Structure 1
């Protein structure tokens, strides 16, 4: 059974769920609109350029969650799924996931977006195993602080190796699909790296390495 590992944002989805959540909070008046949008856009720009301070971003993204109980957050997320995530679903991505399932592969998602945002998305995609950035939870509420190793850049490799040790899976025959140069550390450790609608930096690296380049759009 080979691992078929997928990035989420701009790979399985036709957009970025992390940035979209910030847009959702602004649109619903849940945060200070102008200030939050400016910071959200700036962090996204830093991510695209490969210079994101992941812990600073996580504190920014997780802070609004600390204001609400789990029932309220879940209701907010359900609306977010309907209004923002459903339009980002890609039929070709669903078909690729199913192709790997049909071939007997173990499908999983590894994403830098926090698990509050991504767990329901992974569920909607039919993917049980998710490695993501995590927020600290105390007494059932988010504190606004990150927890554990951020699942970003080299951190994705660390988190994956920890998971492999815990589960007994291996990277023999493994695949990883991603759009982003931020995922080069993980793309370099799997047996089959695939660039999906890649950014310019990843596209150049894929050409140099002879990796396939595909589109799910």
Structure 2
């Protein structure tokens, strides 16, 4: 049995769902453009540079979820999928997922982006298992806080190993383990698997991949 892990943003997707969700809310008039657009861009640049403060970002990203009813958020998300997400789901990414699924590999999307945004995207890719940053809920509504360990940098390793333990498994349970990612932020988890794959990598990840002889591919 093999395990295939996929980062989502700028890996399976040719864009960033976290960033685009905020942009979508700005375009809908839900968030004030003057207040939120510059912050959204700044956080995105910090993420790409590997300097993101995850607590500050999650406060920015999750608080808007607490200001609106879940039913309305779900309706907005359907439009978000149509306008923003599906155009970022390319044929090469779909084919990669299909290859692993047809081989019988356990497939998991593991992403820092919150599970409200990403769960419908995982379903669209046909991937059953999702490990994401979890927004806290109370009585079915979002509180604006995070629940548990954010799935970011070393937190991805923590969340991944916790998920395996819940299934009575460990890394040794699999003959091969893949992780596909574009980002330097995923170096901790990339270093854990037997088959790390850099997908359209940022400059820092590309250097690491080339030094270590990791596979480098493009899904664009």
Question: Which of the five TM-score ranges fits, normalised by the shorter chain?
Answer: over 0.9
SS of the residue corresponding to residue 66 of structure 2 reads: helix
Shift of 1:86: 1.1
Distance in structure 2 (CA, Å) of the matches to 1:133 and 1:17: 13
Partner of 1:24: 24
Partner of 1:214: 217
Q: What's the CA shift string for 1:72-125, capped at 9, x where partnerless? A: 010000000000001101110110101011111101100000001000000111
Q: Does 1:199 align with 2:202?
A: yes
Q: Does 1:179 align with 2:182?
A: yes
Provide the aligned C-alpha RMSD in A: 0.8
Distance in structure 1 (CA, Å) of the matches to 2:133 and 2:53: 13
Shift of 1:169: 3.2
Distance in structure 1 (CA, Å) of the matches to 2:157 and 2:125: 23
Q: What's the CA shift string for 1:101-156, capped at 9, x where partnerless? A: 11111011000000010000001110110000011111211111111001000000
SS of the residue corresponding to residue 168 of structure 1 reads: coil
Partner of 2:41: 41
Distance in structure 1 (CA, Å) of the matches to 2:169 and 2:83: 36
Q: Following superposition of structure 1 onto structure 2, how do residues 15-164 of structure 1 map, counting pairs within 5 Å?
A: 15-164=15-164
Shift of 1:12: 0.4
Distance in structure 1 (CA, Å) of the matches to 2:136 and 2:43: 21
Distance in structure 1 (CA, Å) of the matches to 2:139 and 2:104: 39
SS of the residue corresponding to residue 116 of structure 1 reads: helix
Write out the 4+ residue segments of structure 1 that deviate beyond 6 Å after TM superposition.
none
Shift of 1:168: 2.4
Unaligned runs of 5+ in 1: none
Unaligned runs of 5+ in 2: none
TM (norm. structure 1) is 0.98
Distance in structure 2 (CA, Å) of the matches to 1:18 and 1:169: 30
SS of the residue corresponding to residue 110 of structure 2 reads: strand
Distance in structure 2 (CA, Å) of the matches to 1:215 and 1:22: 26
Shift of 1:170: 3.3
